């Protein structure tokens, strides 16, 4: 039987986190990375790739994820916007791709993947 708490955790992976764990927002991720010297958030970089960042952060025991999108101006891609799931490491203040670059044609597909990744470790631990 599914309880209200189980449902809340399925909807919000951060519900699995202990109360003393920092919950990151996009603005906090951006500020921390810029303060550490990252150029990932530079205005010129974002403008060149026509990047957009989803404000939604999926944080759970599996990690901290968000979705970015870029529009590829290369003619072979017909100027299509594509979506990438990004993983933020709060210990190193680095980002890595958690999906292929531009691996999703829709924001909703990337969002579902990011959410699943944020709870993956928990699901693995529960099945062992």
Under 8 Å between Cβ of 66 and 57:
yes
Could you count the other beta carbons within 10 Å of the beta carbon of residue 47?
9
Average pLDDT over residues 68-80: 74
Boundaries of every domain in the chain: 23-127
Candidate from 5-9, 49-53, 57-61 with smallest mean pLDDT: 5-9
pTM equals 0.76
Residues 6+ apart with CB under 8 A from 44: none
What pLDDT is stored for residue 127 in this prediction?
41
């Amino acid at each position: 039987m599914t309880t209200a708490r189980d449902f809340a955790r399925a909807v919000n992976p951060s519900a699995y986190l202990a109360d003393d764990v920092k919950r990151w927002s996009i603005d906090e991720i951006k500020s921390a990375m810029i303060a550490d010297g990252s150029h990932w958030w530079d205005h010129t970089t974002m403008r060149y790739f026509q990047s957009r960042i989803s404000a939604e952060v999926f944080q759970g025991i599996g990690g901290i994820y968000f979705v970015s999108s870029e529009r590829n101006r290369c003619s072979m891609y017909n100027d299509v916007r594509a979506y990438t799931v990004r993983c933020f490491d709060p210990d190193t203040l680095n980002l890595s791709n958690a999906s292929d670059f531009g691996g999703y044609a829709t924001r909703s597909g990337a969002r579902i993947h990011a959410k699943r990744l944020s709870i993956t470790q928990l699901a693995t631990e529960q099945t062992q």
